């Protein structure tokens, strides 16, 4: 990818990302931010159940297994599911910045087919920050960190306030999340939303 697409090239005044001092330690699992999230939640029967871990610097690794429910063509992952995996992994970077951010733009390259049953290993990193804009990139490899590249993405995330979710989300889910007796789950539901 050239990185020259409109909106994905950081401006000249962008700065290097800084890992927040309270960010999870390298290797630490990030967990699901919301049980009903299609990307990382464990309560979605056909979701990706993507498992992300903090990496070094401002990076994360993640993986998920392509299941039959994720098919597009017979026996192959749907491209939209692969884009979702990239988006979820990129969104997990917010845990390391300790900011709330949403996807503003996602550009994906599909390099090779990903068969059902494959473990897709993903790596993502923040490359620059400019005000509320967070620039990042990710790569998905078949089978593990040394496997062949299957997908790549560049993304722009935009920092938002929690009001973004409470004003635009469906009231039933917002209220259910806010009423959760588990304070940690209640807070996490609104912290990261790729």
> pLDDT (tens digit, 9 = 90+) per residue, 11-69?
999 999 999 999 999 999 998 877 888 888 888 888 899 999 999 999 999 999 999 99
Q: Compute the distance between CA of residue 53 and CA of residue 29 in angstroms, rounded to an integer.
A: 4
Distance set, CA 7 to CA 4, 85, 134, 193 (Å)? 8, 21, 11, 20
CA-to-CA dists, residue 13 to 3, 37, 129, 174, angstroms: 17, 34, 9, 37
Please give the sequence-ordered ranges of beta strands (E in DSSP) within 24-110, or none if there are none: 51-54, 59-65, 101-110
Q: Which residues contact 77 (CB under 8 A, 6 or more apart)?
A: 66, 70, 71, 113, 114, 115, 116, 118, 120
Q: What is the pTM of this model?
A: 0.82
């Amino acid at each position: 990818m050239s990185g020259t697409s409109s909106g994905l090239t950081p401006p000249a005044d962008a700065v290097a990302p800084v890992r927040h001092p309270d960010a999870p330690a390298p290797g630490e699992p990030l967990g699901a931010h919301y049980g009903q999230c299609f990307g990382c939640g464990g309560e979605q029967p056909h979701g990706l159940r993507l498992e992300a871990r903090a990496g070094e610097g401002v990076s994360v690794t993640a993986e998920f297994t392509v299941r039959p429910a994720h098919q597009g063509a017979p026996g192959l992952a749907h491209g939209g599911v692969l884009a979702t995996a990239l988006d979820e992994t990129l969104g997990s970077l917010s845990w390391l910045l300790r900011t709330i951010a949403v996807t503003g733009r996602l550009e994906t390259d599909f390099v090779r087919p990903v068969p059902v049953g494959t473990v897709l290993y993903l790596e993502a990193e923040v490359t620059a920050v400019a005000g509320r804009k967070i620039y990042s990139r990710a790569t998905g490899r078949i089978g593990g960190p040394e496997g062949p590249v299957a997908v790549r993405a560049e993304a722009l995330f935009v920092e938002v306030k929690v009001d973004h979710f409470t004003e635009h989300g469906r009231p039933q889910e917002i209220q259910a999340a806010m009423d959760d007796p588990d304070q940690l789950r209640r807070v996490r539901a609104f912290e990261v939303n790729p």
